[in-house]
């Protein structure tokens, strides 16, 4: 049984116009002859004697190839842009066997002698999770005169050797790619080891050498929500939102409505429908409508889960309170919701604090001149595949002022005193 050996991809090169060199360096004026055979010697060949049927070049543009040499012994290149090139060469024989890839690093300098720019790269990390955001900073890159760069180019090389434009990996926020002349944010959706290359351009059109670094991307694993807090900003956040000594009281709204049709004394009704304890089975942690939510999303090993959406949901009657928060580089998320935003998220027009939301008829608390309607619900905070955080909440369904049982309004006189106005 014959064992097929792969072909050999060999090239020799020479400068056809040596006068184009500047201090021994290749310039944009140089014409380079690349030879796969010369004077009867084959640099590219198949050790089994099979025919070479395909020769492939990579890393350069078709416009960089001036043409082919007489006798089919090679080709000629001339690079019009000062830069660092990595030319690859691979061949295939008639049995379908392919050679190893041969690489050539070609530094092409400007003909006027000015130095190409220098690319300086800093990264936020070299070990990531899938879809974790990576910051690449190249703000310290300068041209030969110390001036800022005018453009940047990047390549991402996968484990399989596929070369892709870095733009395909740049993070997009609100329809805008997060890349500039000083930094870029990228992420990798699939785990693996990637090589990232960057080059910067000066104002005269010359590009720097490529700067390469490796990024190892591992699977997401288990995400955990930790240190989650829901903090009421207007109350103590206890089960009973009415502190000791407060003039506020719990009010049985349904009972006050029934009594308002029978009794003419609002003070009597108020005394009989209010108490120091929650009514109608209202339980849970009082959050109100002015509160802060915060916490962390992390992997089980403690690594922050950056740039991931945290969902906050809470049904309020037939409506739904919902927030979508994004974690920062430390996996931290936080949001303060004031009462205007709270009711806006529930779909109400918030013209004034005196009349917002719905009078649910469940229960409410407050003073005679301001009431807050309350219902029991459950807040859920979730993120990716993390176990959801849930908490029983006393949530606000509405704010209303100066009313009791839909029968009286609590009005203020010109002298500053208050009185009940019968609106029945």
Q: Based on the domain organization, do 250 and 192 belong to the same domain?
A: no
**According to the model, what pLDDT value does residue 304 have?**
84
Domain count of the fold of the chain: 3
Q: Based on the domain organization, do 75 and 134 belong to the same domain?
A: no
**Would 3 be classed as within a structural domain?**
no
Q: Based on the domain organization, do 28 and 82 belong to the same domain?
A: yes
**Would 211 be classed as within a structural domain?**
yes
Task: Print the domain residue range for 194.
Answer: 122-218
**According to the model, what pLDDT value does residue 252 have?**
79
Mean pLDDT of 103-110: 97
**According to the model, what pLDDT value does residue 275 have?**
83
Domain containing 194 — which CATH number?
Answer: 2.60.40.10
Q: Higher confidence at residue 305 or residue 236?
A: 305
**Would 42 be classed as within a structural domain?**
yes
Mean pLDDT of 218-226: 81
Mean pLDDT of 213-217: 94
For residue range 350-379, what is the model confidence (pLDDT) as tens digits?
545 456 666 655 556 666 556 778 888 999
Mean pLDDT of 259-275: 82
**According to the model, what pLDDT value does residue 103 have?**
95
Q: Band the pLDDT of 424: cuts 50, 70, 90.
A: low
Q: Based on the domain organization, do 248 and 300 belong to the same domain?
A: yes
Domain boundary among 84, 108, 132: 108
Instruction: Please state which of the ranges 18-27, 69-78, 263-272 shows the lowest mean pLDDT.
Output: 263-272
* Whether pLDDT at 92 is above 80: yes
Percentage of the residues of the chain whose pLDDT score is greater than 90: 53
Q: Based on the domain organization, do 141 and 27 belong to the same domain?
A: no
**Would 394 be classed as within a structural domain?**
yes
Mean pLDDT of 167-184: 94
Cβ neighbours for 255, distance < 8 A, ≥ 6 positions apart:
272, 273
* Residue 376 host element (H or E): strand 370-382
Q: Based on the domain organization, do 234 and 195 belong to the same domain?
A: no
**Would 396 be classed as within a structural domain?**
yes
Domain boundary among 108, 136, 162: 108
* Whether pLDDT at 167 is above 70: yes
* Whether pLDDT at 117 is above 90: yes
Which residues are bridge partners to 319 per DSSP? 316
Are residues 117 and 207 in contact, defined by beta-carbon separation less than 8 angstroms? Answer: yes
Cβ neighbours for 153, distance < 8 A, ≥ 6 positions apart:
166, 198, 199, 200, 201, 207
Mean pLDDT of 305-312: 88
Domain containing 55 — which CATH number?
Answer: 2.60.40
Are residues 326 and 308 in contact, defined by beta-carbon separation less than 8 angstroms? Answer: yes
User: What is the C-alpha to C-alpha distance for residues 373 and 393, in angstroms, rounded to an integer?
Assistant: 13
**According to the model, what pLDDT value does residue 222 have?**
79
**According to the model, what pLDDT value does residue 95 have?**
92
Q: Output phi, psi for 22, to 5 deg.
A: -125, 110
**According to the model, what pLDDT value does residue 186 have?**
96
Q: Based on the domain organization, do 212 and 77 belong to the same domain?
A: no
Cβ neighbours for 393, distance < 8 A, ≥ 6 positions apart:
230, 284, 285, 286, 287, 314, 376, 377, 378, 379
Mean pLDDT of 296-310: 85
What integer best gives the mean pLDDT of the chain?
A: 87
Q: Based on the domain organization, do 140 and 101 belong to the same domain?
A: no
Q: Based on the domain organization, do 351 and 298 belong to the same domain?
A: yes
Q: Based on the domain organization, do 333 and 255 belong to the same domain?
A: yes
**According to the model, what pLDDT value does residue 399 have?**
75
Q: Higher confidence at residue 142 or residue 233?
A: 142
**Would 6 be classed as within a structural domain?**
no
CA 101 to chain centre: 36
**Would 2 be classed as within a structural domain?**
no
Domain boundary among 108, 134, 159: 108
For residue range 319-356, what is the model confidence (pLDDT) as tens digits?
899 999 999 888 999 999 988 888 888 888 754 545 66
**According to the model, what pLDDT value does residue 369 have?**
59
**Would 67 be classed as within a structural domain?**
yes
* Whether pLDDT at 234 is above 70: no
Q: Band the pLDDT of 406: cuts 50, 70, 90.
A: low
Q: Band the pLDDT of 397: cuts 50, 70, 90.
A: confident
Q: Based on the domain organization, do 206 and 162 belong to the same domain?
A: yes
* Whether pLDDT at 17 is above 80: yes
Q: Based on the domain organization, do 401 and 369 belong to the same domain?
A: yes
Q: Band the pLDDT of 306: cuts 50, 70, 90.
A: confident
Q: Band the pLDDT of 77: cuts 50, 70, 90.
A: very high
The CA distances from residue 379 to 53, 364, 388, in Å, are 67, 19, 10
Are residues 77 and 34 in contact, defined by beta-carbon separation less than 8 angstroms? Answer: yes
């Amino acid at each position: 049984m014959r064992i097929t050996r792969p072909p050999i991809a060999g090239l020799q090169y020479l400068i056809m116009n040596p006068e184009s060199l500047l201090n021994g360096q290749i310039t944009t004026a140089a014409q380079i002859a690349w030879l796969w055979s010369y004077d009867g010697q084959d640099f590219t060949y198949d050790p089994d004697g099979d025919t070479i049927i395909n020769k492939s070049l990579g890393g350069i543009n078709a416009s960089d190839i001036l043409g082919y040499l007489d006798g089919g012994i090679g080709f000629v290149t001339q690079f019009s842009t000062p830069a660092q090139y990595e030319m690859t060469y691979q061949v295939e024989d008639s049995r379908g066997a392919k050679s190893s890839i041969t690489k050539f690093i070609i530094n092409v300098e400007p003909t006027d002698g000015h130095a190409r720019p220098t690319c300086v790269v800093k990264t936020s990390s070299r070990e990531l999770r899938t879809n974790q955001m990576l910051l690449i900073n190249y703000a310290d890159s300068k041209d030969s005169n110390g001036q800022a760069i005018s453009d940047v180019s990047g390549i991402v090389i996968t484990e399989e050797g596929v070369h892709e434009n870095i733009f395909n990996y740049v993070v997009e926020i609100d329809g805008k790619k997060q890349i500039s002349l000083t930094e870029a944010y990228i992420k990798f959706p699939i785990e693996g080891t990637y090589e990232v290359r960057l080059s910067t351009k000066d104002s005269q059109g010359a590009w720097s050498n490529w700067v390469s670094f490796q990024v190892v991307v591992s699977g997401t694993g288990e995400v955990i929500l930790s240190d989650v807090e829901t903090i009421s900003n207007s109350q103590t956040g206890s089960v009973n939102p009415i502190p000791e000594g407060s003039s506020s009281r719990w009010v049985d709204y349904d009972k006050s409505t029934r009594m308002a049709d029978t009794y003419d004394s609002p003070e009597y009704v108020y005394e009989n429908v209010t108490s120091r304890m929650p009514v109608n089975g209202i339980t849970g942690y009082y959050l109100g409508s002015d509160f802060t939510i915060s916490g962390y999303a992390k992997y089980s090993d403690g690594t922050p889960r950056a740039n991931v959406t945290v969902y906050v949901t809470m049904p309020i009657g037939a409506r739904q309170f919902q927030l979508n928060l994004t974690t920062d580089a430390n996996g931290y998320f936080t949001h303060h919701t004031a009462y205007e935003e709270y009711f806006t998220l529930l779909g109400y027009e918030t013209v004034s604090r005196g009349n917002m939301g719905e009078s649910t008829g469940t229960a409410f608390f407050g003073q005679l001149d301001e009431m807050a309607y309350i219902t029991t619900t459950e807040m859920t905070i979730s993120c990716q595949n993390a176990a959801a955080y849930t908490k029983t909440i006393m949530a606000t369904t509405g704010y209303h002022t100066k009313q009791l049982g839909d029968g009286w309004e609590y009005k203020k006189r010109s002298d500053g005193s208050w009185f009940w106005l019968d609106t029945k």
